[in-house]
């Protein structure tokens, strides 16, 4: 069941409605960027969520960069759509890199 939910979250640009997102990932991109404290919390959340997606998919998406590079990619998505949730922005980057084989 958990694997199916994780696969569904990665398969689409947005996490499915039935997925409960906790922590910084439930906040908007704009909220994530508001302060140094929220940025630090978001960085940790992104790293954990990304690792979880890879663990569920038994993958290595993002192997071509490091956590700072992944966070920069997410920040770029957030800059263009600040109302997205952080989890949605991460999902977009994850899908793009997965499709590129990176």
pLDDT of residue 17: 58
- What is the reported pTM? 0.79
pLDDT of residue 101: 87
Report residue 59's pLDDT band, with 50, 70 and 90 as the boundaries.
confident
What is the number of domains present in the chain? 1
- Answer left, alpha or beta for residue 13, where phi above 0 means left and psi between -120 and 50 means alpha: alpha
User: Is residue 44 situated within a structural domain?
Assistant: yes
Average pLDDT over every residue of 37-46: 94
User: Is residue 18 situated within a structural domain?
Assistant: no
* Domain boundaries, position 51: 2-11+27-100
| pLDDT at residue 34 tops 50 | yes
Burial 17-26 (b: 16+ CB within 10 A, else e): eeeebeebbe
User: Is residue 17 situated within a structural domain?
Assistant: no
């Amino acid at each position: 069941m958990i694997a199916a939910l994780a696969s569904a979250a990665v398969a689409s640009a947005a996490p499915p409605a039935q997925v409960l997102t906790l922590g910084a990932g439930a906040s908007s991109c704009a909220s994530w960027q508001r302060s140094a404290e929220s940025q630090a919390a978001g960085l940790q959340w992104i790293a954990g969520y990304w690792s979880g997606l890879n663990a569920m998919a038994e993958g290595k998406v993002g192997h071509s960069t490091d956590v700072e590079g992944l966070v920069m990619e997410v920040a770029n998505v957030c800059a263009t759509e600040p109302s997205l949730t952080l989890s949605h922005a991460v999902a977009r980057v994850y899908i793009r890199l997965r499709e590129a084989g990176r």
